[in-house]
Amino acid sequence: MKTKILTRQALIASIYFVVTYLLKDISYGPVQFRVAEILNILAFYNPIYIIGVTAGCFIANLYSQFGVYDLIFGTLHTFISLTAMSKIKNVYVASLMPSLFSFIVGIGIMLATGTTAGFFITTAQIMLSEFVAVSLISVPLFKVFEKNSYIRGNILYIPFS
């Protein structure tokens, strides 16, 4: 079972990184839209996915122009958001956690740029981006996935213990 868990986490981390890197023009910066954030909802279905998604975010942030700030604050945002998401029983409410905690990324960008001038605008943009990716795209997409017995039984609700 440990090999299965490790393999699954590596796969999720890899998907997150590859999608983010391939779409790097829109994935990084104060104005960003990370398509890979769609994977965040996996933490709602099974908390073990927090590891893979957070690792993928960390690896993707190695390529950010904000350097160590994005490594720390971007990854922290993902970890906190997904941890909160995993504790909420309603998928619609859970999907709001990445938006709610977007201020963490805003703080990281503020520190990286050395200015507070755009903090609220940057944070609002990231909140909107997270809302679109997770709440408006991911939730309906995964609702469709839930209807597929193979995906439901082998990916979403599979026990990892």
Question: 10: exposed, middle or buried (C-beta count within 10 Å: 0-12, 13-18, 19+)?
Answer: middle
Residue 25 inside a domain? The answer is yes
pLDDT at 5: 86
pLDDT at 25: 94
Domain range holding 24? 1-155
pLDDT at 21: 96
Domain count, the chain: 1
Residue 97 inside a domain? The answer is yes
pLDDT at 138: 97
Q: Write the DSSP assignment of the chain as a string of letters.
A: -HHHHHHHHHHHHHHHHHHHHHTHHHHSSSS---GGGGGGGHHHH-TTHHHHHHHHHHHHHTT-TTHHHIIIIIHHHHHHHHHHHHT-S-HHHHTTHHHHTTHHHHHHHHHHHT-STTHHHHHHHHHHHHIIIIIIIIHHHHHHHHTSHHHIIIIIS----
Residue 114 inside a domain? The answer is yes
Residue 101 inside a domain? The answer is yes
Tens-digit pLDDT string for the chain (161 aa): 688 889 989 999 999 999 999 999 999 887 889 999 999 999 999 999 999 999 999 999 999 999 999 999 999 999 999 999 999 999 999 999 999 999 999 999 999 999 888 899 999 999 999 999 999 999 999 999 989 888 887 778 766 55
Residue 59 inside a domain? The answer is yes
pLDDT at 1: 64
Query: Sign (positive/negative) of CA torsion 20, 23, 105, 84?
Result: negative
Alpha-carbon distance 160 to 23, whole Å? 31
